[in-house]
Amino acid sequence: MLFSDLGLSAELLRAVEKKGYSEATPIQQQAIPLVLDGRDVLAGAQTGTGKTAGFTLPVLQLLQDAQIADKKRYPKVLALTPTRELAAQVHESIQDYGQYLPFRSAVIFGGVSINPQKQKLIKGVDIVVATPGRLLDHVQQRSIDLSKVEILILDEADRMLDMGFIRDIRKILNVIPTQRQTLLFSATFSQDIKKLASEFLRQPSQIQVTPENTAVELVSQIVYPVDKKRKRELLAHKIGAEEWQQVLVFTRTKHGANKLSEQLGKDGITSAAIHGNKSQGARTKALADFKKGAVRVLVATDIAARGIDIDKLPHVVNFELPNVPEDYVHRIGRTARAGQEGHAVSLVCVDELKLLRDIEKLLGKDIEKINLPGYDIDPSIKAEPIVNGRGGGRNNGGNRGNKTRGKSRAASGGRKSGDFGNRSGGARAHSGGGNRRAG
């Protein structure tokens, strides 16, 4: 289906064409008409499938239809995201697709001075993209009036509604009108999140354009069993031997990200770390250097899984498996975007066997396991419990209450390394080429 078949204005179609897109992706084909019809929407689709354009384009169309550009400016659209990087990405999408429309937008997140944000809000904006913590700062300081919001968007809604954010979300819901259109978009939706979302959605239209909680089809997934103390050695070997030039590596903790980045540097591999304790300036620079190839490896905590959008990123490495299986889907979704193929590697030690089984259960299939010569696991090593949660505190993403979900499900019950087995799941699924995707 062409974008021109979806009822979008000439100005929006011109912006879409300038971005190089012509055909809408499945999530866009289904979501855009529903949003234009004024429906509440609960939409699930894999990362890299154009979800952002799926809500940005119709929302801009609704604003254009309302012809409010010549009226006093106040926020009519509020988009909430869990991380600063994702807020910036959504705002960039709004600016790109709305470049031929008269609307003003602002992006609000922590880690930077609040005063320039206040000045922009005072001048008047039609669309606000924000992380919850900084938005509530503005509400408390009365630098923003949300009493006339007509459309609420929660991007990466599963993360927005988990226990780390729900308190702030409820506070925001209390200061915006109950009569509004609400849009929830995410790659994953647990049953608990759907139940919670039903509290503030009105007869929502549900969209699931791909099998729920599945990994991107064009990603090849491989597990390398390896002892924990040899993970860094194996990672450096793979990067060097196979000449990987752009690698996004995930760790569970901020300290772990810093340590690994420093170790890779000593190995002669240029690297930078990005996580919630880094200043916004440092995070922006690290991401920019990675995108332009100034650093070879970007080591990140899960904050990056929801906000990094890099065209043709070839390699994602799980240096440590995430505590929450759904986060694995978001991590590997950073590669194989816009119809490209991608490569996801997981370095798994005996401590993480339970985490690996939880991920395979979520995916509904085994992930191929390859034992590399010279990196044989030591069968005498017993598993140790993993107690590190997913980040904590307001600094993780610039928001309040992004608390850990508690201790890991990974307590492995004293298993030994030899329990890895030698299964081969042939985990790669192929999909046809497809058009370049918007969003």
- Indicate whether 179 and 223 sit together in one domain: no
Within-domain flag for 438? no
**Adjacent-strand bridge partners of 108:** 130
Tokens representing 323?
């505590």
Within-domain flag for 7? yes
Q: What share of the chain is helix, strand, coil (3-state, %, to 5)?
A: 35, 15, 50
- Indicate whether 353 and 237 sit together in one domain: yes
Among candidate residues 181, 208, 235, the one where a domain is terminated: 208
Q: What is the CATH number of the domain that holds 40?
A: 3.40.50.300
Q: Which residues contact 158 (CB under 8 A, 6 or more apart)?
A: 186, 187, 188, 189, 190, 193, 326
The string of DSSP letters for 150-174 reads -EEEEETHHHHTSTTTHHHHHHHHT
Q: How many H-runs (helices) and E-runs (strands) does the chain carry?
A: 14, 14
- Indicate whether 188 and 295 sit together in one domain: no
What is the tens place of the pLDDT at every residue in 208-218? 886 655 556 67
What is the tens place of the pLDDT at every residue in 221-234? 999 999 999 999 99
CA distance 288 to 122: 30
* Of residues 243, 265, 192, 205, the one with CA closest to residue 40: 205
| pLDDT at res. 432 | 35
pTM of the predicted model as reported, rounded to 2 decimal places: 0.65
Q: For residue 414, how many other CB atoms are within 10 A of its CB?
A: 10
Domain with 262 in it = 219-420
Asked if residue 295 has pLDDT above 60, the reply is yes
The H-or-E segment that residue 345 falls in is strand 342-348
- Indicate whether 17 and 165 sit together in one domain: yes
- Indicate whether 288 and 405 sit together in one domain: yes
Q: What is the mean pLDDT of residues 83-95?
A: 91
| pLDDT at res. 424 | 39
Asked if residue 199 has pLDDT above 90, the reply is no
- Indicate whether 145 and 98 sit together in one domain: yes
Q: What is the mean pLDDT of residues 368-382?
A: 93
- Indicate whether 379 and 356 sit together in one domain: yes
What is the tens place of the pLDDT at every residue in 135-177? 999 999 999 999 999 999 999 888 788 757 889 999 999 999 9
Q: What is the mean pLDDT of residues 378-405?
A: 57
> Quick one: DSSP state of residue 25?
P
| pLDDT at res. 410 | 41
CA distance 298 to 247: 6
Q: What is the mean pLDDT of residues 394-420?
A: 45
| Total domains, the chain | 2
- Indicate whether 348 and 239 sit together in one domain: yes
| pLDDT at res. 261 | 94
| pLDDT at res. 396 | 38
- Indicate whether 229 and 203 sit together in one domain: no
Asked if residue 262 has pLDDT above 90, the reply is yes
Within-domain flag for 213? no
188 confidence band (pLDDT: 50, 70, 90): confident
Asked if residue 393 has pLDDT above 50, the reply is no
Q: What is the mean pLDDT of residues 307-331?
A: 85
| pLDDT at res. 279 | 79
Q: What is the mean pLDDT of residues 56-78?
A: 84
